[in-house]
């Protein structure tokens, strides 16, 4: 029995999934591995830095607060997930997939209702503080 058939048997509710949900469910382990790679703060920062364009190892090291060995490990992890590639000795660039994932995260974050609510709450706190200070 292949993995897909085993998953469908194990999870009967799979029969009601639409195409998008089925893709996500069947790619679950791979997606979680990508999210773990992107979800580490130093690796996410590397991806963000590489959005501007290729950078050398030393350039990344100057921007990061990590040791050389840690940076090398993070870059290796990102390369293994095809989020970053080495374009020449010591120079790295974000891949199209890496760029797409970071941009998707940005778009989701920008459109997040929770984020909008936090911004509105902060604006209201500022307004209350300002009005309080003006009364004195």
pLDDT in tens, 79-114: 999 999 999 999 999 999 999 999 999 998 888 888
Number of folded domains that form the chain: 2
Residue 34 sits in the same domain as residue 51: no
Residue 52 sits in the same domain as residue 76: yes
Q: Could you give the angle at which helices 68-80 and 41-50 cross, rounded to 10 degrees?
A: 80
Look up the domain containing 26 and give its range.
1-39
9-28: pLDDT as tens digits: 555 555 566 888 988 889 99
Q: What is the CATH number of the domain that holds 127?
A: 1.10.10.10
Residue 83: C-alpha distances to residues 37, 52, 68, 106 (Å):
9, 15, 20, 16
Residue 15 sits in the same domain as residue 79: no
Residue 113 sits in the same domain as residue 53: yes
């Amino acid at each position: 029995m292949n993995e897909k058939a085993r998953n469908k048997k194990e999870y009967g509710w799979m029969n009601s999934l639409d195409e998008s949900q089925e893709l996500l469910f069947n790619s679950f382990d791979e997606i979680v591995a990508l999210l773990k790679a992107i979800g580490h703060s130093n690796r996410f920062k590397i991806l963000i830095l590489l959005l501007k364009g290729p950078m050398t190892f030393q350039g990344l090291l100057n921007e990061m607060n990590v040791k050389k060995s840690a940076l090398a490990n993070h870059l290796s992890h990102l390369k293994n997930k095809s989020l970053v590639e080495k374009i020449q000795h010591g120079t790295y660039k974000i891949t199209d997939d890496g760029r797409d994932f970071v941009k998707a995260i940005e778009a989701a974050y920008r459109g997040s209702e929770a984020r909008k609510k936090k911004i509105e709450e902060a604006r209201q706190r500022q307004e209350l503080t300002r009005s309080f200070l003006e009364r004195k």
